[in-house]
């Protein structure tokens, strides 16, 4: 699924500073179970569509900004795709009614990895996505807004004189 693959690809540089061990009951568990302030994600189990995928690159020295809404760059057939954060902690996705024909698939098409997981910590306002068995490589997002029908998360990365910020808004 194009959208999910793009989310993981764009945000894959941000790594969890501390390894997360799903087998350790004192840490977060997929789906928000466990201790340390974790709780269930209010919009878990619902099909969410990307409303906006804002990408901003700022040159630290000059303050010059570039970027925009990456949804504008998605192929039309991918704009109605859905992402579901299952209550079990697995991530799934589906194409909307506007299915991309096999011969017109976007070059950047990346299927939803079969073993992708998520976790949510309400106390720390963090949302993590990772492949099963690779929790120590989790992409850690800040939760800006969450409700039973929407999720807005952001990630900021500083590197070599630039600051990159991504804000992802999903809605039912």
Alpha carbon 140 to its chain's center: 9
Residue 28 Cα distances to 33, 89, 139, 159, angstroms: 6, 11, 14, 28
Which helix or strand (DSSP H or E) is residue 58 part of? strand 47-59
CA nearest 30: which of 103, 130, 124, 157? 130
Query: Sorting pLDDT into bands at 50, 70 and 90, what band is 75?
Result: confident
- Res. 69: pLDDT tops 90: yes
Tell whether the torsion through CA atoms of 42, 44, 45 and 47 is positive or negative. Answer: positive
Mean pLDDT, range 79-91, rounded to an integer: 91
- Res. 94: pLDDT tops 90: no
- Res. 63: pLDDT tops 90: yes
pLDDT at 19: 42
Alpha carbon 16 to its chain's center: 14
How far apart CA 81 and CA 74 sit, in angstroms, is 11
pLDDT in tens, 14-60: 444 444 444 443 455 677 655 444 568 999 999 999 999 999 999 99
- Res. 99: pLDDT tops 70: yes
Asked if 65 and 56 touch (Cβ cutoff 8 Å), the reply is yes
């Amino acid at each position: 699924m194009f959208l999910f693959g793009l989310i993981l690809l764009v945000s894959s540089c941000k790594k969890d500073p501390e390894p997360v061990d799903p087998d350790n009951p004192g840490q977060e568990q997929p789906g928000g179970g466990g201790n340390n302030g974790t709780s269930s994600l209010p919009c878990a189990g619902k099909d969410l569509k990307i409303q906006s995928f804002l990408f901003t690159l700022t040159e630290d020295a000059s303050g010059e900004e570039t970027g925009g809404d990456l949804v504008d760059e998605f192929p039309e057939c991918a704009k109605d795709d859905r992402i579901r954060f299952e209550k079990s902690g697995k991530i799934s996705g589906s194409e909307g009614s506007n299915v991309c024909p096999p011969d017109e698939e976007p070059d950047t098409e990346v299927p939803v990895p079969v073993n992708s997981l998520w976790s949510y910590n309400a106390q720390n306002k963090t949302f993590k996505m990772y492949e099963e068995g690779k929790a120590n490589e989790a992409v850690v997002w800040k939760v800006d807004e969450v409700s039973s029908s929407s999720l807005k998360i952001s990630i900021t990365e500083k590197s070599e004189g630039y600051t990159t910020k991504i804000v992802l808004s999903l809605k039912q």
